[in-house]
Structure formats: structure tokens, C-alpha cells
Structure 1
Amino acid sequence: MHDTTSTSLLIVGAGPFGLSAAALAQERGIDAVTVGRPMGFWREHMPGGLFLRSGPDWHLDAAGRHTLRAYLRERRLRPREVDPIPVGVFLDYADWFRDVKRLDVREEFVTALTRHDGGFEAELSGGGRVRSEVVIAAPGVGRFGALPQWAGRVPPGRAAHSGDLVSFGALSGQRVVIVGGRQSAYEWAALIGEHGAERVDVVHRHPAPRFAAVNWDFFDDYVESTLRVPGWWRRLTDAERTAVVARCWQAGRGTLEPWLPPRLASCAVHVWPRCEVVRVDAGRSDGAVRMDLSNGETLRADRVVFATGYAPDLARVPYLSGLLDRIATRNGFPRLDEGLQTTVPGLYLTGFAATQDFGPFFGFVKAAPASSTLLLRALRALRSRRAG
């Protein structure tokens, strides 16, 4: 017979937003259970040779003590020694953060979440159950991979979203076409080329990107405003929101890291800006996928990689299926109040799922401590109302 655990707070997801919330809840004396594989998306969907675009000031601790800088100091590492930051360094920091915060994470998955006695009941992959008054869900962005409409024309086994392709050894000697033109597209191109691909073609609709160092300090103002002014993002005018989105877009998507071009120059990488795929023919005798481009060029690929980003769709979060009819959405995103609560009382969503109501910067690790602060404020207010 499987066990049932009762708790005040259930946190579903153990990525940056989940771990940050778990640490602050514990610090505030809230009885909480955290379920998920710690940093699972990062470990399973980011290649070992990946570098982060952020600096050492991005961390998980809403209390501001156990930061990435503090971790580097303890390991006697100077920031310039890990610039750019390898993904492995951040994963080591996350492990250290869990240890120093003494966070207990149940390494299972929530398979279903339903209402129960005014709260919630979660069924776990191991067969147990957790009953909770409140749930904070932080579904990883990996659930929301976007694909072009024609993706289904590529035979199974010959295509993958960039988030699902993290091992490149099998691509040695292969012809690879990458669809997309942001950081992941170009970094995957470098990595695939460095693993011996015969040829790598990068195809995207927008102009060739700019390669330059990005100063992310402007995120600080947005995060501080979010903490200082309830509902700051939704209080902005349309013009103000458009300006923020444009600034985030230019930094995060229009500008790519300056350490990429030398790696691309040493590989068999060919870039096709201002182009798109207009025809796909996968029925060739040699097994290659023929791809006709809008500029008249034709490419042949043994593998196709979709570096096409992510799009919201809560229906792709399996454990929410029993509540979807009660979660109001707009443009695929959940509609959230100023404390990140959905239209299901007691159910909160954060991370990428919160970017529509809190701004595009909420999809970055930088916002994890702020998210935790907002959530704990909301839970404190909820408790006060219930006590009153």
C-alpha cells in the first residue's frame, strides 16, 4: 500500500524556480514537499559543452546569501575563470545550493493533480500521494518546444528539437540542417561542427544576428520594479511593455555571444539568413531529406534540428490535465493574479508560464528569487485571510 503525505505546500518542479521557492518556504517555516528531478531539464536537455549567457550575479537565493558568487568564493574560483559560465558550473552550484539549504527533494514526478477537500491531491510516479493546501507548479520550458508546421514531413529519427538533441557524436560525417537563428541554433551549429559533422547549414528568416557582449544589468530594474510595485508589468502602458519586450528581444535573441564566431569559422558551417524552408522531400533513395529554400537554394540533410524556441500550451503539462477546464488562459499562457495564482484558488504557476503576466524576463533564472518572494508574499496573505 502506497503512502499519503500531507503538507501545507507542494512544489512541483525542482528546476531554478522550484528550488528557489523551496528554499524560501523552508526559511519562512512553511511545511513544504518538493517533487521533481533536481535541475532535470538542465541535466537532460542541455549539452555538456554549453555555456550560459548570464553572469555570476544570476542565482537562486531570494535571501541573497547562497548565491553563485558565494559558491565561487567557497570553491576559490574567480568569476573571470568561469567566463562564460559552463552549464556544469551552474549545475554544481545548484547541487551546492540544495546541500547548504538542506532541501529534501522527492525525486519522483507528479502524474496527476486534482482537487481534494478544498486543497489538492497529487499522484506520484512512485505510487504515493501528496495532499496539500497549496500548490506551486514550475513546469520546465522543455515541455513547450515549438516546431514549424512542416516538421512532420521529416521522417521520425531524422529530426529533433534542439532541446532534445544534447549528444552529438552520432552526427560525425553527417549533413545537418538547423532551422532557427538564435543563440541555441548557432551554438548547436558550433558543437555539431566540432563533433565532426560533414556540413552544417543554419537557416532562418531574420537577418544575420549581431555578435557582441550583452550587459544584462537592465534586468535588475525590471525585477526590482516587479517586487516594489504589485502587478508592475500589467500596469505598464502598451507602449512601455512593447519597449521592454524589444529590449529583451534585442539582448536575448537579436544579439548572440561574441565567443561564437571563431568556433563557427573553424567548422563547415553555412548560414542562410532571410530564408525559410518552402518544400521538404523525404522520399529520396539515398535517405537524405531534400529541403528547398525560399532563395532558390536546395539543401540535403541527414538530420534536421529545430532550434525554434518554445510556445506556451498548458495541455502539454500532463499533471494539469484534470484542472485545465478551470485554468483560464490567454494566448496559451495561464491568467495569473499579482501573486502568480491561477484561476484555480491555491494553484500558482511560475517560470516560463508566467511571462505573459509578469514580463519576458520572468523566463530567465534571474527572476527566480523574485518569483519566490512574490509567491511567499501571496502565501502569507492567503494564510492571513484564512486566519481572519
Structure 2
Amino acid sequence: MYDLLVVGAGPYGLSIASHAAAAGLDLRVLGRPMASWRDHMPRGMFLKSEPWASSLSDPEGRRRLETYCAGRGVPARHGEPVPVEVFASYGLWFARHCVPGVDERMVVRVRARPGGFETLTGDGEVLRARTVALAVGVMPFVELPSALSGLGPELVSHSSHHGDLSRFRGRDVTVIGGGQAALETAALLAEQGTRTRVLARAPELAWNDVPPAWERPWWRSARAPHSGLGCGWRNWFYAERPGLFRRLPEPTRVRITADALGPAGAWWVRDRVEGPVELMLGHEVTSARASAAGVRLDTVGRDGTTARLETGHVIAATGFRARRERLGLLDDELRAGLAALPDGSPAVGRDFESSVPGLFMAGLVTASVFGPAMRFVQGAGFTAETLVRGVRRRLGAGPGGGRIPAPGRALRQGSAPGLGAER
């Protein structure tokens, strides 16, 4: 039986695994490394976060994004966006150096058992662990407008479902949403020859400013310090003090998580949208149906006026909603045993442990407790360090106790655990 089984191998899962391995835990990591970044983002996209705020976390801080980029002659400078494919490659490099061999099979079921948990992989193997960390990213939490729910994937899709937009070349596509995913998707579509429009409820698009220089007069830094979530003391608090954020009243936390850092496009995509892309702002879809052209959308404006448009395909860049019931890999009994917050997300304690002892959560699903940083790579460092401390406490090592002995196999870099017998 493993000490810890990490489900998911994105930035949070890999960071947790790195800290757990360094702490001597006998662990197993399952999932395709950096899958969302490799499979669900079209080539040509960039990170919106600054390079210095986009590193995965290892205990010694030696495997940062800028270190990877410097070794390959790739720029990673403040104010210059990093291509998504570079970030994905960085994550694979991090995994090779900081994480015991990742098992790329998917976990399809997690259930509680006496003394821990039992997990089932897609090919039918059963693995047992005393604790489990769910780092499943955002894909289980895709949010689609209810008005589009009756149409199939050939007509309506979510922006995260596309690793390649070339099939829309020469077609007519409507992108719904006003955030970075919507605007960058629209820009890429337009640049490949797709007739593209953006439909958004907001009366105008919001754009992030060019970040101020890294080196500034002290008084400017004091007024609006840099942080991994943008300039300003409020963003600095969200980025640097998630432990204190958790102490805010629950209604305040939930409200901030819903409203902070709302939909906005990066400054470097603005010229690629305004002009090349048709904008239909201040409108909301009320109904959608299949038509000869593809999809017929009925909309209502902020002033109550209605409109109808025909489009070949709708891409909904409408974000993600981390609700307990969407954790479909948990069996019914385990999922029902999770306490939930008013917004439907699972409640977690100070160490990211859920209401089910030994079951830990990481990433977007914890944002209503630890704040907006959990929606970004920025939150991976705090999460990994804090969660592994919680796992050690659950296993009996104590908050600052000695290392837990682990087989040498668990700490050999790049060695994959055997995939045979049930454990």
C-alpha cells in the first residue's frame, strides 16, 4: 500500500509529487503529464501569467521555468509571454528530474476502503494507498451555457476541447465569452482564415495593461507591488498569502473567488482581436438550435432587444465551475461524503484535506477556500508544500517530524514503478 497516490500530472500534481518524494513518501503518480497543456490548447497560444510566476514547485527551487528556458536559449523575460508548447515541454522536463516515474494510465474510480483508498486504473489494475491527492486540473469542470446544452459536439464545443483549430479554417465560428480563452481562440481562428465573431454579455471587452517594468522606483513598487496575479496589494495578497485568505469569512472567500480577476484579455492579443474579429457585445444567448448553416442562435441585448444569427459552429469559452458532483472518478459513496461550500465546491481544511480523512484536493477545486491563486500555476508551490505537510500529519509523521522511510525505488529519478501485481 502506497503512502500517497497522486491523481493527475499537471502543474499541481507534479509539484505535489516532487515535494512528496523529497519528504520520503512512498508514492505513485498517475495521469498523462501536462495533458491539458499538450492536448487541449492550440499551438500558437501563450501563457497569460508572467514567466517568473509560472514555475512548478520543487523543494529546492532548482527547476524553475526560467532555468529551463535559459538552458535552451528561449526568452523568459518579464512582460514577454511564453508559448504554451514551451511551458508544456518545461513540465515534462520537470517531471523527469523531480518526480518518480509517472504512470500515464488514467484513474477511473477512487473508493474509500479500511485503512485508506482503492483506485482503479483504466486497464483494470487496482492500487491501494493510505492517502490520495486529487490534482485533476480543470477538465472535469467544463462549464457550458444551458442554452447550448441540447446540441452535440459537432455544433458546440468548449474552448478547452481543442488542441488544433485547423478544422475550422474557412468556416464561420462564433466564440462565446470575453476572457483570455475566448479572445485568444478568436484571434487564432481569424488568423487562419476563419470568419470569427466574439459574442459576450459584457458591453465592452476588458484588457489587461502592459505590466510595468520590473525595476521601478521604490515608491511605485510600494504603491502597486508585482505579484504572480498582477500588480497591486490586493493581487499580492491573493498570490502570496493563500493561508491568510483561508481565514476570511466563508461568504467573503466565495464572493472574491467568483469575482476577482474577472474576464479580460492580455494586452498582447488586443490588436489581433479588435478589427480582425467581429464583436457582438452586450448580448446573451437565450436559445440555440441546429440549422442548415450549423447553429441558429437567438440572443437578447442588455436593452432587451433580440437578435438571431447563423453560424457554423459555436465555441464556448465559458470557463470552469469546480463542483463536487463533477468529480466523477470518485465513487458515489465517497463523493456524497464530501462536505461542500455554498458554491458547490468541496470544503477543504488548512492542509487541503477534504472532509473525508486522507483525501486531499488541489488546484481549481480549492479556490473558494485558498483564493484566486489556485486558478493559476502560481498556487502550485503553496499547495504542494502545505498538502504534503498535511499528508505527513495524516500518516503520523507530525507537522515537523522526521522523514518517513520509503523504498529506494520511490526516489530514483526517472524510474517507473512496476505495473503488474495489485498493491
Name the CA distance, whole Å, in 2 between partners of 1:10 and 1:335: 20
Q: Which residue of 2 aligns with 1:175?
A: 172
Q: Which amino acid aligns with 1:327?
A: L
State the secondary structure of the residue aligned to 1:106: coil
Name the CA distance, whole Å, in 2 between partners of 1:23 and 1:241: 29
One of 260, 282, 286 as aligned partner of 2:269: 260
Name the CA distance, whole Å, in 2 between partners of 1:74 and 1:117: 47
State the secondary structure of the residue aligned to 1:333: coil
Q: Cα–Cα, structure 1 residues 278 and 117, in superposed 2: closer, same or farther, change >3 Å? A: closer
Kindly tell me the number of residue pairs found equivalent between the two proteins: 371
Name the CA distance, whole Å, in 2 between partners of 1:102 and 1:21: 9
Paired residues for 1:42-81 under 5 Å: 42-57=37-52, 58-63=54-59, 64-80=61-77
Return 91-100 or 309-318, whichever deviates more: 309-318
Q: Which residue of 1 aligns with 2:85?
A: 88
Q: How far is 1:380 from its partner? A: 2.6
Residue by residue, what CA displacement relative to the aligned partner does 1:109-139 show, whole Å, maximum 9, x if unpaired?
A: 1111122232111111122221111111111
State the secondary structure of the residue aligned to 1:318: coil
- Contact 2:176–2:315 (CA under 8 A) maintained in structure 1: yes
State the secondary structure of the residue aligned to 1:210: coil
Name the CA distance, whole Å, in 2 between partners of 1:200 and 1:135: 43
Q: Does 1:213 align with 2:210?
A: yes
Name the CA distance, whole Å, in 2 between partners of 1:232 and 1:204: 34
Q: Which residue of 2 aligns with 1:224?
A: 240
Q: How far is 1:281 from its partner? A: 4.0
State the secondary structure of the residue aligned to 2:210: coil
Q: Which residue of 2 aligns with 1:308?
A: 318
- Contact 2:3–2:25 (CA under 8 A) maintained in structure 1: yes
- Contact 1:203–1:271 (CA under 8 A) maintained in structure 2: yes
Q: How far is 1:56 from its partner? A: 1.6
Q: Which residue of 1 aligns with 2:344?
A: 332
Q: Cα–Cα, structure 1 residues 110 and 242, in superposed 2: closer, same or farther, change >3 Å? A: closer
One of 12, 26, 30 as aligned partner of 1:17: 12
Q: Does 1:204 align with 2:200?
A: yes
Q: Does 1:143 align with 2:140?
A: yes
- Contact 1:179–1:306 (CA under 8 A) maintained in structure 2: yes
Q: Which residue of 2 aligns with 1:33?
A: 28
Higher-helix-fraction structure: 1
State the secondary structure of the residue aligned to 2:5: strand
* Structure 1 unpaired stretches of 5+: 1-5
Paired residues for 1:156-195 under 5 Å: 156-195=153-192
Q: Cα–Cα, structure 1 residues 130 and 337, in superposed 2: closer, same or farther, change >3 Å? A: same
Q: Which residue of 2 aligns with 1:290?
A: 296
Name the CA distance, whole Å, in 2 between partners of 1:299 and 1:159: 15
Name the CA distance, whole Å, in 1 between partners of 2:183 and 2:92: 29
Name the CA distance, whole Å, in 1 between partners of 2:6 and 2:154: 35
TM-score by length of 1: 0.88
Q: How far is 1:182 from its partner? A: 0.9
Q: Cα–Cα, structure 1 residues 136 and 217, in superposed 2: closer, same or farther, change >3 Å? A: farther
Q: Does 1:380 align with 2:388?
A: no
Return 175-184 or 311-320, whichever deviates more: 311-320
Name the CA distance, whole Å, in 2 between partners of 1:332 and 1:241: 13
Q: Which residue of 2 aligns with 1:3?
A: none
- Contact 2:323–2:344 (CA under 8 A) maintained in structure 1: yes
Residue by residue, what CA displacement relative to the aligned partner does 1:318-369 show, whole Å, maximum 9, x if unpaired?
A: 3212411211112221111111111111000110110111112211100001
- Contact 1:248–1:361 (CA under 8 A) maintained in structure 2: no
Alignment RMSD, CA only? 2.4
Name the CA distance, whole Å, in 2 between partners of 1:380 and 1:153: 46
- Contact 2:253–2:368 (CA under 8 A) maintained in structure 1: no
Name the CA distance, whole Å, in 2 between partners of 1:99 and 1:139: 20
Residue by residue, what CA displacement relative to the aligned partner does 1:262-313 show, whole Å, maximum 9, x if unpaired?
A: 222563x11111111234342x4x3332223224433210101111111122
- Contact 1:291–1:299 (CA under 8 A) maintained in structure 2: yes
Name the CA distance, whole Å, in 1 between partners of 2:298 and 2:259: 34
Q: Which amino acid aligns with 1:146?
A: E
Q: Does 1:110 align with 2:84?
A: no
State the secondary structure of the residue aligned to 2:283: coil
Q: How far is 1:52 from its partner? A: 0.7
Name the CA distance, whole Å, in 2 between partners of 1:164 and 1:276: 22
Name the CA distance, whole Å, in 2 between partners of 1:368 and 1:145: 21
Paired residues for 1:232-247 under 5 Å: 232-237=244-249, 241=253, 245=257
* Structure 2 unpaired stretches of 5+: 212-225, 402-423
One of 312, 335, 360 as aligned partner of 1:348: 360
Return 73-82 or 201-210, whichever deviates more: 73-82
- Contact 1:314–1:320 (CA under 8 A) maintained in structure 2: no
TM-score by length of 2: 0.81
State the secondary structure of the residue aligned to 1:146: coil
State the secondary structure of the residue aligned to 2:297: strand
State the secondary structure of the residue aligned to 2:112: strand
Return 314-323 or 111-120, whichever deviates more: 314-323
Q: Which amino acid aligns with 1:316?
A: R
Q: Which runs of 4+ in 1 moved over 6 A?
A: none
State the secondary structure of the residue aligned to 2:197: strand
- Contact 1:14–1:36 (CA under 8 A) maintained in structure 2: yes
